[in-house]
Structure 1
Amino acid sequence: MAADPDCLFCKIVAGDIPATRVYEDERTIAFMDINPGTRGHLLVVPREHAVDLLSVAPEDLAACTRTAQIMAARVSDKLGADGVNLLNSCGAAAWQTVFHFHVHVIPRYVNDPLQLPWQPAPGDRDEIAAAAARLSE
């Protein structure tokens, strides 16, 4: 299994660094985030090292998505979360700080203090159309 000896999450996967694991299967591990945004915030990582969303193997991406869905159901059922955010940051400009692909499972509660930085507001329709045209090529 590919690992990066300098990667924090690879060390967690290998058991070299302790983590509070809450789920694992043959492709993924879910463990508690030590800097949680809300109660029950956890991370899902593939066992095999991949730097980010653009480099993760499709099979590992699918496995992480399945595990994130399982964990979203658990935080709703067992912690009483009112909702769940799944978050992936791809690249430093997108707030990625650990360069091993991972998905945040963030339980949300009515009136919890977590505020994400993006506030939806109407966009420029011409710019939206131009970006869509480029993406459709």
Structure 2
Amino acid sequence: MAAAYDNDNVFAKILRGEIPAHKVYEDDVALAIMDIMPRAEGHVLVIPKVPARNLLDIDPAALAALISRVQHVAKAAKDAFGADGLTLQQFNESAGGQVIFHLHFHILPRFEGVALRPPGTMADGEKLKAQAEKIRAALGPFAG
């Protein structure tokens, strides 16, 4: 049996405005924020506004709407940082590496020959703010 969604997870609190975040993109479907422990320059998280524990329990129509936002933000992050490519990560349940139990996609701009940083180091808030602004400037209108 699948575990229930926890309304007190950190992303639910961010969506309710109880915890601050460096916002990159927001509409009625999704919120994109800078990861506070980035593994790459421009590491962004995209989360759905619907309560979904992970990929396994989100409504397929909500997932379809969400993934178009993931693509939109990913293109902007790649462009904003002049990246050579992107890594997209999404984890499901503890055994799959999930730590926060609200569906989220990691977008990591990547550069040839540059490894991802190890997880767990907090980033400087001013640096995250500047990176969020850089990605927002590259977004353009959402055409989904």
Pairwise TM-score range, normalised by the shorter structure: 0.7 to 0.9
String of CA shifts for 1:16-69, please: whole Å, max 9, x gaps: 100000001111000000111100001000011111111111122112211111
**1:31 match:** 33
What amino acid is aligned across from residue 6 of structure 1 in structure 2? Answer: D
Do structure 1's residue 89 and structure 2's residue 91 form an aligned pair? yes
The TM-score with structure 1 as length reference comes to 0.78
Runs ≥4 in structure 1, deviation > 6 angstroms?
none
Q: State the alpha-carbon separation in 1 of the partners of residues 35 and 101 from structure 2.
A: 15
**2:56 match:** 54
String of CA shifts for 1:54-88, please: whole Å, max 9, x gaps: 11111221122111111111112111111011111
**1:20 match:** 22
Contact 2:78 2:85 in 1 (8 A): yes
String of CA shifts for 1:64-121, please: whole Å, max 9, x gaps: 21111111111121111110111110111111000001111111111212179xxxxx
What amino acid is aligned across from residue 55 of structure 2 in structure 1? Answer: L
Q: Which runs of 5+ in 1 are unaligned?
A: 117-137
Which among 72, 75, 78 is matched to residue 76 of structure 1?
A: 78
Q: Which has the higher contact order (CA 8 A, sep 6+)?
A: 2
What amino acid is aligned across from residue 62 of structure 1 in structure 2? Answer: A
The TM-score with structure 2 as length reference comes to 0.74
* SS across alignment from 2:13: helix
What amino acid is aligned across from residue 110 of structure 2 in structure 1? Answer: R
Contact 2:39 2:117 in 1 (8 A): no
Contact 2:91 2:98 in 1 (8 A): yes
Aligned residues: 114
Question: Sequence identity, in percent?
Answer: 41
Q: Which runs of 5+ in 2 are unaligned?
A: 119-144
**2:44 match:** 42
Contact 2:78 2:109 in 1 (8 A): yes
